[in-house]
Structure 1
């Protein structure tokens, strides 16, 4: 064998052997890193557990202080409750850390494919998808979430408000029967968000309800009429051809406030209490104020055999500032609802028109 051939064979053997060694080292390094990574993640979890339990204790102590400030418990009772809470949280830390320490010991005794999945709100897995799989994957995350302790007394709650019903106008010098707007075709809708706050410490009979709402008030104009703005004077005139539809709508953003009253049920637990108005009678009296944010007249008719839809936005001298009175009579989450605009619909008109709405209101709390 020539010298060149020998050198070539040696080179091939060296490269092949070196590649095999490198692969073994990478494999060993990967397995070692997998276990170490799991253990490192669990050590971080131990720190998180201690922090989490301390935050829970802080929240419980704040709740106890609130009860003491409200004179629901004495200072001595508050200290006893704080001591019990601290002992409970310390025991929680000890028990939870012991669980994590046991996992670490399990990992140290086993290879990288070993799983430590359970309900400790943490999952870490690295390895193939099956015994015959060669592709590796890593998953690191939470399995479930711990709930923060309840606030002992929650005086303010919130809910979505939705209302729908009939709409019309009270016109100066006219009866409602003489209204130029159809009773059946004219309607309103309201969608908003409201907060409800208990006024007194030891009773939920009186509540203050407040929030914001979008109101859509629609008039279905009858007798083939439509609105015309003539030099700031908005009047109804007969349309030149037969109308299939003539509707006028205003959109308002308002901020309602109601004094709500009625019975409620007190639900008492060991570490919190709540008042519930579920299936209870309640009354709300108040009003609203806000801004008109749009107006539109929609006309549908035929001309020369063609169907025409005409939408006119703005230019109807609608009052920008909106305010009125409202009230509801409710059983549970459903109420009979009435609202009345104290401001005239149009400004500087010969005859005032005031919007009035009657319908159903749903407070979805």
Structure 2
């Protein structure tokens, strides 16, 4: 195993999960039920693979490591395909219901019953790439207009993909949080509908829809595993992925649900800081992380309410471990088959590799020969240029 993971400096701390109903009930099972019924009926739906990283598990002296590979999801390259597009459908149903004065169902939106009304609506969002791709795809699928805001460091390849899906793409000076602010401001000025994966005071329903969509992925994992895992290492960002997966696991497995460890870039540790403060905490992004989808300085308050209840620990990882983790998967060193992953997909992988290799962390996280770990491979190769640079050792 690459020595980088044994010698790198990682910060972490443990918490005591409360499993409070207030937190877990933020994402009720009924919302996951509704999203699952709808999304699994979409054209192109297929369950993504849960790969066994048996070679890596043996090297780390763990029983099993499972890697949920979201690269094939709906041809969009990431788990985000489940959330943004579903939220667009829900937002359109609610907006058109108000305009026509009667209930409009998700079936109505999917079947184009109100295509004329949908075509008059613009949905908008800020993104590092994958969420915007899903929102653009959903807008095209359901007949709405789409405007996506990206920050200065989002690659042009990711912007071109969103344009190819029918979105107007606006590049904003500043970081991700600046793009969120501009998307909100211009939506209010123009009467557009924001479809964000993060929440703020007074804005909660679309992020709930987004996280409900992510639950499809988590439920696939539950159905693929004969017994609950002992640990799940989840990447951070604004917290939506982690909250959704943790909530589903808690609902499905109860007291047998795995320990939840949140892993973030040390350059964007808003959930780590929130865990320290025991409250949603803003951090200022000074430098963009290679893990573009995790470069978020402000947590979603909804997601935090779940993570505060279920998280067992928080960890930040340095940039130096990202490229080696991507190469480890792609070279077939972790499993019998090669897995091509994007930069944001390997945060949990890097986290468990370090934790299992450090004697104190291994003890603190209760990692041992019987441990069965789940990781979320949240994206495939969403930017081929970056992937090629990583594989060539240029990053």
TM-score band w.r.t. shorter chain: under 0.3
Which structure: greater strand fraction? 1
Which structure: greater helix fraction? 2
| Structure-2-length-normalised TM-score | 0.21
| Structure-1-length-normalised TM-score | 0.22
* Structure with the greater alpha carbon radius of gyration: 1
Task: Work out which structure has the larger RCO, using CA pairs closer than 8 Å and 6 or more positions apart in sequence.
Answer: 2
